[in-house]
Amino acid sequence: MTERVVLAYSGGLDTSVCIGWIAEATGAEVIAVAVDVGQGGEDLDVIRKRALACGAADAEVVDARDEFAQEYCVPAVKANALYMDQYPLVSALSRPVIVKHLVATAEKHNAGIVAHGCTGKGNDQVRFEAGISSLAPGLKCIAPVRDYAMTRDKAIAFAEAKGLPIATTKKSPYSIDQNVFGRAVETGFLEDIWNGPVEDVYEYTRNPAEPREADEVVITFEQGVPVALDGVAVTPLQAVQQLNQRAGAQGVGRLDMVEDRLVGIKSREVYEAPGAIALITAHRELEAVTVERELARFKRQVQQRWTELVYDGLWFSPLKQALDGFIDEANKYVSGDIRMTLHGGRAVVTGRKSAQSLYDFNLATYDTGDTFDQSMAKGFIEIFGLSTKIAAQRSLRAQDGAAAQ
């Protein structure tokens, strides 16, 4: 039987060329799979037909938008996932859901190989291949751009020689990856890290410096999951989409950073993730109100580790899954409303309300009605500070001893 290869297909030049290139290099039939994670742009059926026109034996499209929002973006919100304290994992979240569908398609078609269009320098190759080996250890992976040295120039020459129905002329100066959770832009003049991003880099956000009216939104969470905006029930996908619009209109969620890739390179990335940043900002504040201090402190360490695991392509790893259990448990009481002002590129929390709140007005107040017994504080501090006090006394004795010699 002819070997089959399942290819992660975007519809662009590189993966369109990959179809024929893989077929020639391996003698296999290529099955193209395009996964919709809310990247927008072209109609998926157009993409499917293009794959067939480029020589795919079969082509499938999957609408994974709700699945992506519920099972990948929501856990990232619960984890307040910001890699290097900034980047909400946009691309890193989409790879595992794409992997899941590649593996399912490979099983369905009895394919033994999965292929993707990543280069050998980035994180995404790791996310695809580590993900695939976690879900289906028997599948092999190939990456033509990396493994068969398929450069852009060779791809264009191949497309022209075969008459592939794909535009080879206009090349965006940037490398862009986008989905409903955000948009990543790199390369081109951004590779000089002194160059500031120009306005036309952005698509999900308006310029925050332009004058406009502020927007106010109330986000309701249930156990860490966004369930309503301004009192109107929404699915996680709708929450992200609607906040992309509203926060994006206020310029919220623009990032410009130099980031540590897993492969050891530092790279400059410009991101825009208005919905993600609005949701994480709100969720983090609701945790501040509803999560007990020690749990909250420990969770900050756990979520940083979780974020690094996901960034590093270990979504399906045992540690990441075990940390999911902790993060879900920590979100048990993270229910309530957060009010935010969206304006001037920022999402600023202005109010919190929760039936699970641990904020006790009578303990916190400096006015009458105070139930906190201040007389107990003196003894508490005496004992709390005792061990460092004894150590300080020893330091003084040691100094005196040294001075006396």
Residue 245 CA to its chain's centroid (Å)? 18
SS3 34: strand
Binding to ligand ARG by residue 317, rule CB under 6 A? Answer: no
Q: Establish whether 331 is an annotated binding residue.
A: no
Binding to ligand ARG by residue 175, rule CB under 6 A? Answer: yes
Closest among 125, 128, 73, 142 to 99, alpha carbons compared: 128
SS3 192: coil
Rounded to a whole number of angstroms, the minimum distance from the CB of residue 56 to ligand ARG is 23
In whole angstroms, give the CA distance from residue 110 to residue 1: 10
Closer Cβ to ligand ARG, 129 or 269, answer by number: 269
CB neighbours of residue 97 within 10 Å:
23
Positive/negative CA dihedral, 179, 151, 125, 10: positive
SS3 126: helix
Rounded to a whole number of angstroms, the minimum distance from the CB of residue 167 to ligand ARG is 18
| Structure letter (DSSP) for residue 83 | B
| Active site (annotated) includes residue 43 | no
In whole angstroms, give the CA distance from residue 91 to residue 192: 22
Selected range binding ligand ARG among 164-172, 173-181, 280-288, 369-377, rule: CB under 6 A: 173-181
Q: For the window 84-123, what string marks contact with ligand ARG as x by the rule CB under 6 A?
A: -------xx------------------------------x
The token pair at 62 is 């999957």
CA distances from 404 to 132, 393, 396, 400 (A): 69, 17, 12, 6
Q: Which of residues 68-87 bind ligand ARG (CB under 6 A)?
A: none
- What number of chain residues touch ligand ARG (CB under 6 A)? 10
Which secondary structure element, helix H or strand E, spans residue 283, and what is its range?
A: helix 274-290
Q: Establish whether 123 is an annotated binding residue.
A: yes
SS3 273: coil
Candidates 66, 133, 146, 175; catalytic one: 175
| Number of DSSP helices (H) and strands (E) in the chain, helices first | 15, 14
Selected range binding ligand ARG among 174-182, 247-255, 285-293, 320-328, rule: CB under 6 A: 174-182
Selected range binding ligand ARG among 39-47, 97-105, 170-178, 283-291, rule: CB under 6 A: 170-178
| Active site (annotated) includes residue 124 | yes
Binding to ligand ARG by residue 256, rule CB under 6 A? Answer: no
Give the distance between the most distant pair of CA atoms in the chain.
Answer: 91
| Active site (annotated) includes residue 357 | no
Q: Establish whether 276 is an annotated binding residue.
A: no
Candidates 36, 65, 124, 354; catalytic one: 124
Rounded to a whole number of angstroms, the minimum distance from the CB of residue 122 to ligand ARG is 6
Q: For the window 257-296, what string marks contact with ligand ARG as x by the rule CB under 6 A?
A: --x---------x---------------------------
Give the residue numbers of the binding site for L-aspartate: 119, 123-124
